[in-house]
Structure 1
Amino acid sequence: MSFIVTLYVPEGIVMAADSRLTMNFQKKLPDGTSLFQSFIASDTNQKLYLINERFGLSLCGEAAINNIPLAGFINTFEERISSNTDVTEIPEALIKYFKEIGNNPRITFHLSGYRVEEGISIPYVYIGHVSESKFLRVNYRNDQIYYGCSWGGDSDIFARLILPARVKKNRGEWKELPYYEIPYNFFTLQDAIDFAIYAIRTTIQTIRFQTRPKTVGGPIDVLVLKPGEQPYWIQKKNYHGENALKEISTRL
């Protein structure tokens, strides 16, 4: 699994994702029962992409199709995107593409970009589910632009932090905990960047101490999209060789 986060605030859009790839399988025991096993396959998996230098795409769910990682398929999909492709065309095209190459894969995606309407750059943020052939624009409500945060993947830790919650008391009654809304509409772009990193970093650090599969981890990639500008990376893992590893070890 994974954890992806997208924030849409007045200054722009921030997308972030972790880099861990885990492999899960069931092992048959001699007594006929099954044992679930999970192990970390990589901490350099790509889940956040810049498509055609214009759109942001993040993925969670199944990390491979036909035993081939998704990164290669995304490169092929990008070749289908031209300079004239509109952001509104991509969600449906992406679902169709994944269904062509896979057996109805369980993949969730976030797709973000801008579209010029009457001379103004309008933000579009979509969440899509390939297996259900569904997608929804999440930053538009009641005929106006909506600011907020969307997430996908292993999100239970983060959800408990920012959504309403309650605890069970000794006598069995439930007590509502204090709840404070987050004013995304007042976020600066830097606030959104900090919040996206906080969401994923907190999930990584919490999972570390829990007795559960370590499905979120590795470097955090962060991509920013702003109206009228080319998207750019705030932080992105890079390829490196032996010398780079030696320099890292020396600094540590």
Structure 2
Amino acid sequence: MSLVVSLRIPDGIVIAADSLATTQMQFFGKTNIPATCPECRKDIELRDVQMPPVNTPASTFSYAQKLFSFHERFGIGSYGMGIINARTIYYHVKLLEKKLREDGSKVDRVSDAAESVRDYFQSQLREQMPDLDGAPDDFYPLGLQVVGYNDDEAKTMQVQIGKEPKIEPQTGLGCTVGGDLLVVNKLWTIEKEFPQRAVNYGAFSLQDAIDYATFLIDTTADSQRFTRLIPTVGGEVDIALITSLKPFTWIRCKELVKVLEKVNTADALQR
């Protein structure tokens, strides 16, 4: 599932994502159920009744890449499906980036980036799931946050890929989250009940935004450690920064990303 967090604060945009990938297996059990015959009222036994599937983790990986640069100016964080058509989301994003450059397509605005991401991944999902039209209307197995600046305005575009793809723009100071939201929503419920505990995004420095994004992801991951649920958030936290004056810049990323992206993290921003 994952957790992606983007914060729009006075000095820029901070976007962060976890690194955990979990594969699941479904077990379909059968059982015998005692019942009463509706006609003769005698006790009977229903044999080999199919039970609801039980999900169990088959394996977990702690180095999935869910945060990407896009055309140097934008950032993308993904949650939900980690692989489509036998390729990771990271690989797909880089293929899309290459294709747009070769085609000479302009990606000047955040909305341009979000629309290209939506169209590309929607076609990929339909290729993998030919029966997608039969899915529920609210079926969104993949989500992506596309962040960047338009005319000095910070924007987060929440892109939902599914039966009916959609783009939800978020502007102004604030925090947008995608993925496993249970713990974050509980924290924010406290803020609603006790307004004096509300987060003041307007007073955040860049370091505050980095720390808050890390806090939300780490708290979600730590809470799952003590439950019987399949873990959905964990691993290293990747963080990047975008401002109106500076394009996508890595603040913290896995060592392999430094090799693939040929970048150095901005260590000066870390305490």
- Tell me which amino acid in the other structure corresponds to 1:88: S
Flag the 1:91–1:177 CA change in 2: closer, same or farther, 3 A: closer
Distance 1:163 1:191 in 2: 21
Q: Which residue of 1 aligns with 2:40?
A: none
Question: Contact conserved, 1:52 with 1:81, CA < 8 A, in 2?
Answer: no
Does residue 1:160 correspond to 2:186, yes or no?
Answer: yes
Does residue 1:112 correspond to 2:144, yes or no?
Answer: no
Q: Which residue of 1 aligns with 2:173?
A: 147
- Tell me which amino acid in the other structure corresponds to 2:116: A
Question: Contact conserved, 1:22 with 1:39, CA < 8 A, in 2?
Answer: yes
Larger radius of gyration: 2
Helix, strand or coil at the partner of 1:85: coil
- Tell me which amino acid in the other structure corresponds to 1:16: A
Any idea what the Cα deviations from partners look like across 1:114-153, whole Å, max 9, x if unmatched? 23x3xxx3322211111132112201xxxxxx10001011
TM (norm. structure 1) is: 0.81
Q: Provide the aligned C-alpha RMSD in A.
A: 2.1
- Tell me which amino acid in the other structure corresponds to 2:218: R
Distance 1:109 1:183 in 2: 25
Could you tell which deviates more after superposition, 55-64 or 31-40?
31-40
Question: Contact conserved, 2:156 with 2:176, CA < 8 A, in 1?
Answer: no
Larger proportion of helix: 2
Does residue 1:90 correspond to 2:121, yes or no?
Answer: no
Q: 1:238 aligns with which of 255, 267, 271?
A: 255
- Tell me which amino acid in the other structure corresponds to 1:38: P
Q: 2:85 aligns with which of 56, 66, 72?
A: 66
4+ runs deviating over 6 angstroms: none
Number of residues paired by the alignment?
Answer: 220
Task: Map 1:40-51; keep pairs closer than 5 Å.
Answer: 40-51=59-70
TM (norm. structure 2) is: 0.75
Any idea what the Cα deviations from partners look like across 1:62-89, whole Å, max 9, x if unmatched? 1111343222211111113448412221
- Tell me which amino acid in the other structure corresponds to 2:213: A
Q: Is there any run of 5+ residues in structure 1 with no aligned partner, and where?
A: 140-145, 166-175, 241-252
Q: Which residue of 2 aligns with 1:137?
A: 169
Distance 1:38 1:129 in 2: 25
- Tell me which amino acid in the other structure corresponds to 1:129: Q
- Tell me which amino acid in the other structure corresponds to 1:138: Q
Question: Contact conserved, 1:39 with 1:213, CA < 8 A, in 2?
Answer: no
- Tell me which amino acid in the other structure corresponds to 1:37: T
Give percent identity, aligned residues only: 28
Q: 1:122 aligns with which of 153, 177, 181?
A: 153
